[in-house]
């Protein structure tokens, strides 16, 4: 049996010495059609003239050479083939859901007067690795609705401890702390250099709109709603009122109807 | 002017040095200048080719390849062609680790033994009309005799490292080099028969333009083309180049015979391999592609050494292309290819060359000689495949 099956395999056609015994039965059980040549049948290839029968003359080698040649030339012709991003000169566009470390949002141009944070310390309490440190200022300042609120004297985040979970941003009821996307954060000093203070952490609302447009628009809408509610209650605009819409970016109260 | 430029440069240099030396020293100075020129030129070529290879392979895989390192201490990037300088400095400053069980003397000698024969082989190649360091009457014989010393270096490295991977790699390397030396030399024999000389200078001169101004390169004959392809394959195997790079097959035996080498010794092995490749490909140019001869008589005004180096670069590009395209062979496939396929083909080629020599000129000679060769090729390939039960793959379960 082995000898005969082996003989079938001697021409260049399909060869299934092992299939001769066991495989057809198994295939029948599976309900598959068995298209196996009979033992001793002359192979289809050897019936053809020697020169025209396919394979085994090194065509595969030529195909391989052509493939690499096509890639070689193509990589000079179309830039789309080159997937490499040449990092310091080029940067990949980050997905909108990207996040690295928290930052503090401020409205308008003044990082102190416009800071949304009211030093409520909810983020400090919720932070799982406890990397946030807040000290309230004694003096108060008006928030975006004009109401007098606390403000942080010290707001520190130890980014060597921060685990980028984003819980601070989730729990903040004032939309004051959000997640940043900056990632080139290496420093020469691993203690002071990685302890970020309020001044470093404060970034304008326009920046928030740039990195997370959808989320920023939602936050602006929420704040606008709060202002509208305050306005409705008092019936007039408070003098200290400062709107996120002043930034003049997408999704401000004006556009959000 | 440009034709004799290298010769004039050398003469000027020798003359300048001879101001301070007695006249009897002139042959020595001349030889030393030639050797220095070969070392410097091919050393530089080695550096440039490593960068070209990395860039070429990268492009075949749709990457950029090295494009950062330029001239040191400047902001010039030179498209990454300073990379080899950085690599060289890195190799020089790295720690030289020698295994505790190693034979220290042999271990240290092996890289040197690898480089020296390659340089010696390069010295007999005519690189231009007047540009050959040593013109031996039997230069071809010298080339092969010296080239065999590479095997010694491989085994020295493998044995002295006292490491099983080294030894396995060395044994693979020896088996491969010994096997491929046979088709290598057999592929050259028709050239010697046609040129009637073992001198490489004479062989190149014999390939000058014919009566019609068309090139007389041996590659433009059926036996020459076949011999060239056989020679190229065997030369790649001799130089341990892909697809015959299994003496150093990383996935199987880590790095083969130079696994225990680091730092500058490793760099020397690297240099030796590339110099060996240049020598083998340079010999292919000399024997089959007309050496420094221009393809057309009308192009004779281009300096001859430009032709030689242009052809050499072309063959190096082909070697890089092959490296980027083909997978590595298995040991049994490798030896089978040499003994069962290439040696018989080379013998047939010998017969074809004789036929070509004595047949009357014309189209019929082309058809008959080419036909014999193609028939032998097809019959051998098919016969071997049939004997092994090989054929187009058939899938039993996925139809």
Query: What does the DSSP assignment read for B149-213?
Result: HHHHHHHHHHHHTT-HHHHHHHHHHHHHHHHHHHHHHHHHHHHHHHHT-S-HHHHHHHTS--TTS
Q: Is the pLDDT of residue B346 over 90?
A: yes
* CB within 8 Å: B391 and A14: yes
User: Domain total for chain B?
Assistant: 2
Q: Are residues B169 and B261 in the same domain?
A: yes
In a domain, B393, yes or no: no
In a domain, B170, yes or no: yes
Residue B398 pLDDT: 75
Tens digit of pLDDT at every position of chain A (257 positions): 333 333 333 344 444 444 444 444 444 554 444 444 444 444 444 434 444 455 667 788 888 899 999 999 988 888 888 888 888 888 888 888 899 999 999 998 888 888 999 999 999 999 999 999 999 999 988 888 888 889 999 999 999 999 999 999 999 999 999 999 988 888 998 888 999 999 999 999 999 999 999 999 999 999 999 889 888 876 555 554 554 444 444 433 433 33
Pair of tokens at residue A170 = 């989730």
Q: Are residues B228 and B161 in the same domain?
A: yes
Q: Are residues B202 and B85 in the same domain?
A: no
Measured on CA atoms in the order B116, B122, B124, B129, is the torsion positive or negative?
negative
> How far is the C-alpha of B343 from the C-alpha of B335, rounded, in Å?
11
The residue in chain B having the minimum alpha-carbon distance to the alpha carbon of residue A14 is B394
Residue A236 pLDDT: 54
The owner of tokens 């983020």 is A123
Q: Are residues B59 and B156 in the same domain?
A: no
Q: From the CA atom positions of chain B, what is the Rg in Å?
A: 23
Q: Are residues B181 and B53 in the same domain?
A: no
Q: At what angle do helices B104-123 and B149-160 cross, to 10 degrees?
A: 160
Indicate the residue among B40, B75, B93 that finishes a domain.
B93
If you average pLDDT over residues B284-310, what whole number do you get? 85
Q: How many CA atoms lie within 13 A of B175 on its CB side?
A: 19
The number of C-beta contacts closer than 8 angstroms across A and B is 85
Chain A residue set in contact with B, beta carbons under 8 Å: 6, 9-16, 19, 23, 35, 45, 50-51, 53-58, 61, 64-65, 67-69, 71-72, 74-76, 81-84, 86
From the centroid of its chain, how far is CA B117?
Answer: 13
In a domain, B345, yes or no: yes
Q: What residue numbers bound the domain in which B239 lies? A: 97-296+303-384
pTM, full prediction: 0.76
List, for residues B252-263, the tens digit of each pLDDT value.
777 778 888 888
> How far is the C-alpha of B289 from the C-alpha of B307, rounded, in Å?
10
Q: Are residues B150 and B262 in the same domain?
A: yes
The residue in chain A having the minimum alpha-carbon distance to the alpha carbon of residue B68 is A86
Shortest Cα distance from B324 to chain A (angstroms)?
7
> How far is the C-alpha of A87 from the C-alpha of B232, rounded, in Å?
40
In a domain, B127, yes or no: yes
In this prediction, residue B222 has a pLDDT band, given cuts at 50, 70 and 90, of confident
- Whether the CB-CB separation of B128 and B303 falls below 8 Å is answered with yes
Q: Is the pLDDT of residue B309 over 80?
A: yes
Q: Are residues B127 and B51 in the same domain?
A: no
In a domain, B337, yes or no: yes
In a domain, B397, yes or no: no
Chain B residue set in contact with A, beta carbons under 8 Å: 56, 59-64, 321-322, 324-326, 377-379, 381-382, 385-386, 389-392, 394, 396, 399
Torsion on CA atoms B260, B266, B268, B270, rounded to nearest 10: 110
Q: Are residues B199 and B215 in the same domain?
A: yes
In this prediction, residue B76 has a pLDDT band, given cuts at 50, 70 and 90, of confident
Residue B239 pLDDT: 85
* CB within 8 Å: A56 and B61: no
Q: Are residues B53 and B120 in the same domain?
A: no
Shortest Cα distance from A93 to chain B (angstroms)?
20
Shortest Cα distance from B237 to chain A (angstroms)?
16
List, for residues B153-192, the tens digit of each pLDDT value.
888 988 998 888 888 888 888 888 889 999 999 999 999 9
Indicate the residue among B59, B93, B127 that finishes a domain.
B93
In a domain, B392, yes or no: no
Indicate the residue among B93, B120, B136 that finishes a domain.
B93
Q: Are residues B61 and B151 in the same domain?
A: no
* Residues 6+ positions from B236 with CB-CB distance below 8 Å: B242, B243, B244, B280, B319, B322
Q: Output the furthest CA–CA distance in chain B (Å, rounded).
A: 84
Q: Are residues B203 and B59 in the same domain?
A: no
* CB within 8 Å: B389 and A10: yes
Between the alpha carbon of residue B104 and those of residues A6, A60, B166, B260, the distances in Å are 54, 46, 15, 12
Shortest Cα distance from B294 to chain A (angstroms)?
27
Pair of tokens at residue A227 = 């202002």
Q: Are residues B275 and B130 in the same domain?
A: yes
């Amino acid at each position: 049996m082995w000898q005969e099956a082996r003989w079938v395999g001697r021409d260049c056609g399909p060869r299934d010495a092992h299939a001769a015994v066991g495989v057809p039965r198994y295939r029948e059980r599976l309900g598959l059609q068995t298209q196996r040549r009979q033992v001793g049948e002359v192979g289809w290839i050897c019936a053809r003239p020697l020169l025209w029968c396919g394979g085994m003359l090194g065509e595969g080698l030529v195909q391989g050479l052509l493939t690499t040649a096509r890639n070689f030339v193509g990589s000079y012709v179309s830039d789309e083939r080159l997937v490499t991003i040449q990092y310091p000169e080029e940067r990949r566009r980050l997905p909108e859901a990207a996040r690295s470390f928290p930052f503090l949002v401020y409205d308008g141009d003044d990082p102190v007067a416009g800071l949304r944070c009211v030093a409520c310390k909810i983020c400090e309490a919720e932070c799982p690795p406890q990397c946030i440190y807040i000290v309230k200022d004694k003096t108060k300042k008006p928030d975006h609705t004009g109401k007098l609120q606390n403000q942080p004297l010290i707001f520190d985040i130890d980014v060597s401890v921060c685990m980028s979970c984003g819980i601070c941003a989730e729990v903040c009821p004032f939309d004051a702390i959000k997640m940043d996307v900056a990632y080139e954060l290496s420093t020469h000093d691993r203690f002071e250099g990685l302890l970020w203070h309020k001044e470093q952490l404060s970034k304008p609302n326009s920046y928030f709109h740039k990195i997370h447009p959808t989320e920023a628009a939602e936050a602006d809408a929420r704040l606008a709603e709060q202002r509208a509610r305050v306005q409705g209650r008092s019936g007039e605009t408070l003098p200290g009122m400062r709107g996120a819409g002043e930034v003049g970016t997408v999704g401000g109260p004006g556009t959000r109807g | 002017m440009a034709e004799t430029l290298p010769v004039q440069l050398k003469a000027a240099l020798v003359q300048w040095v001879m101001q301070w030396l007695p006249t009897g020293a002139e042959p020595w100075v001349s030889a030393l200048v030639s050797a220095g020129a070969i070392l410097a030129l091919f050393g530089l070529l080695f550096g440039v080719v490593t960068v070209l290879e990395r860039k070429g392979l990268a492009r075949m895989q749709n990457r950029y390849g090295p494009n950062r390192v330029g001239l040191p201490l400047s902001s010039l990037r030179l498209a990454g062609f300073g990379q080899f300088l950085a690599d060289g400095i890195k190799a020089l400053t790295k720690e030289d680790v020698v295994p505790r069980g190693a034979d220290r003397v042999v271990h240290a000698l092996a890289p040197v033994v690898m480089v020296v024969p390659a340089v010696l082989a390069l010295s007999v190649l005519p690189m231009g009309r007047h540009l050959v360091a040593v013109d031996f009457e039997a230069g071809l014989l010298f080339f092969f005799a010296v080239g065999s010393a590479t095997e010694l270096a491989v085994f020295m490295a493998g044995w002295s490292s006292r490491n099983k991977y080294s030894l396995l790699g060395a044994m693979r390397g020896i088996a491969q080099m010994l096997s491929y030396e046979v088709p290598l030399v057999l592929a050259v024999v028709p050239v010697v028969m046609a040129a009637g000389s073992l001198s490489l200078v004479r062989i190149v001169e014999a390939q000058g333009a014919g009566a019609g101004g068309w090139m007389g390169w041996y590659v433009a004959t059926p036996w020459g083309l076949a011999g060239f392809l056989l020679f190229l394959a065997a030369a790649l195997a001799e130089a341990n180049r892909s697809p015959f790079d299994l003496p150093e097959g990383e996935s199987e035996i880590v790095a083969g015979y130079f696994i225990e080498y680091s730092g500058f010794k490793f760099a020397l092995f690297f240099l030796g391999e590339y110099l060996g490749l240049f020598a083998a490909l340079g010999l292919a140019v000399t024997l089959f592609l007309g050496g420094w001869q221009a393809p057309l008589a009308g192009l004779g005004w281009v300096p001859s050494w430009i032709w030689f180096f242009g052809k050499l670069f072309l063959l190096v590009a082909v070697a890089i292309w092959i490296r980027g395209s083909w997978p590595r062979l298995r040991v049994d496939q490798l030896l089978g290819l040499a003994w069962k396929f290439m040696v018989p083909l080379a013998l047939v080629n010998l017969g074809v060359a004789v036929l070509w020599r004595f047949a009357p000129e014309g189209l019929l000679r082309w058809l008959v000689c080419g036909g014999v060769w193609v028939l032998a090729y097809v019959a051998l390939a098919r016969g071997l495949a049939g004997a092994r039960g090989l054929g187009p793959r058939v899938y039993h379960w996925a139809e």
